[in-house]
Amino acid sequence: MISDEDAAVRARQAFQDRFGAAAEGVWAAPGRANVIGEHTDYNGGFVLPIALPHTTRAAVARRTDGTVVLASLQHPDQVVEVAVADLAPGRPDGWAGYPAGVVHELRDRAPGGFSILVDGDVPSGAGLSSSAALSCSVALALRDLLGLDLAPGDLVDVARRAENDFVGAPTGILDQSASLLCTSGHALFLDTRDRSSRQVPFDLSATGLALLVIDSGTTHDHAEGGYGDRRRECEQAAARLGVEFLREVEDEASLGVLDDGTPEGDVLLRRARHIVTEDARVLEVVAALSGDADPRAIGPVLTAGHASLRDDFEISIPLLDACVESALEAGAHGARMVGGGFGGSVIALVDADAVDPVTGGVAARFEREGSAPPRTFVTVPSAGARRLS
Ligand code: GAF
């Protein structure tokens, strides 16, 4: 993993090479792994992410010609240049839509434009929130350069609106909150309804544990249909139950009214049941991590979360299921898919001395399934977004 110092030097040099002038600063924002609390964020529920050590870095300087110029070391042949006044949802699209969306959000404060060079190592399309890392690094840069009086919570909304309104991905606030608010050594317990949050100590190595991230290599895109379908189904279920958010549903028993004997009713019941049980799982995990319990106790809760995403929310895919199964067979205490679904990564809670057997067991299963070997790494709860230089 590249150090903050080396990342800043590399981004500054690349900026100088691209623009022939010095960047005014370099900012970094991390990707995330969500310990538990999936798809609860747009239902007013609870989430518990950690920040990854992987970050996106943005080297930025203000311009005076009313233009945004966007370059990326990960997309070297796609320099995007567009007038601030011409920015509009979908223009530009692709990776450049995220930083452009942030500039668009703040355009009244920055008519002169920006030169922005991004570099990063958050795996993209892996359910690890590379998009939010990108938009949050730029949001933080613009706040500092423009001297805007915006708290981290305000930046969460700037980055979320860029993603929702400009890129067209109807996400909640999980990823942006994780990237901007997480702290090293902790998971962020966030109530997405009132935005209250608490840092929960999550130092696995102290108890001989490790958190493994297994990137299945199957990519996903939240601007595509499945994510938005789930969001609509949750809203329909909430409307039928007479609540604003599914978070407000008392317990599973209250969901019975959704079961009107039609296939649609059955779907809404299962979608809502995932949200209600997932919120309860977040609280259970937070309680376990906050007390004296052995953190291994959260393993089965994570695995139950996966079953719920697979059976009730129906956003897993066979390769992610195989990944979870093989991790458990090889000795993981718990495992689940993370992120929006339809691809991406799995996290597995394992004893530190079981990292190799679990990694090997999962790789062997991928081979039997005819899939390319997954990318696997041990992660630790890392720092949130910050200025590097
Ligand atoms: C994606 C979204 F961007 C988040 O807002 C969240 O809904 C997540 O999927 C599922 O928990 O990462």
Render pLDDT for 228-268 as a digit per residue (tens, 0 to 9).
999 999 999 999 999 999 999 999 999 999 999 999 999 99
CA atoms within 13 A on the CB side of 318: 6
Query: Does ligand 1 have an atom closer than 6 angstroms to the CB of 39?
Result: yes
pTM of the model: 0.97
pLDDT at 219: 87
Give 150-176 pLDDT, tens digit per residue.
999 999 999 999 999 999 999 999 999
The overall average pLDDT reported for the chain is 97
- Token pair, residue 355, equals 């990292």
How much of the chain, in percent, has pLDDT values that exceed 70?
99
Query: Does ligand 1 have an atom closer than 6 angstroms to the CB of 176?
Result: no
ipTM given for this complex = 0.99
| For ligand 1, atom 7: residue with the closest CA | 39
Give 81-133 pLDDT, tens digit per residue.
999 999 999 999 999 999 999 999 999 999 999 999 999 999 998 999 999 99
Nearest-10 crossing angle of helices 318-329, 355-368:
140
Residues with catalytic function: 175
Which residues, other chains included, contact 254 with Cβ-Cβ below 8 Å and sequence gap of 6+?
241
Is the confidence at residue 192, as pLDDT, over 70? yes
Q: Domains of the chain by range and CATH?
A: 4-198+383-387 (3.30.230.10), 204-379 (3.30.70.890)
pLDDT at 150: 98
Instruction: List the helix and strand counts (H, then E) for the chain.
Output: 10, 13
Q: How confident is the model at residue 223 (pLDDT cuts 50, 70, 90)?
A: low
Report which ligand 1 atom has the smallest distance to the Cα of 172. 5
Query: Does ligand 1 have an atom closer than 6 angstroms to the CB of 339?
Result: yes
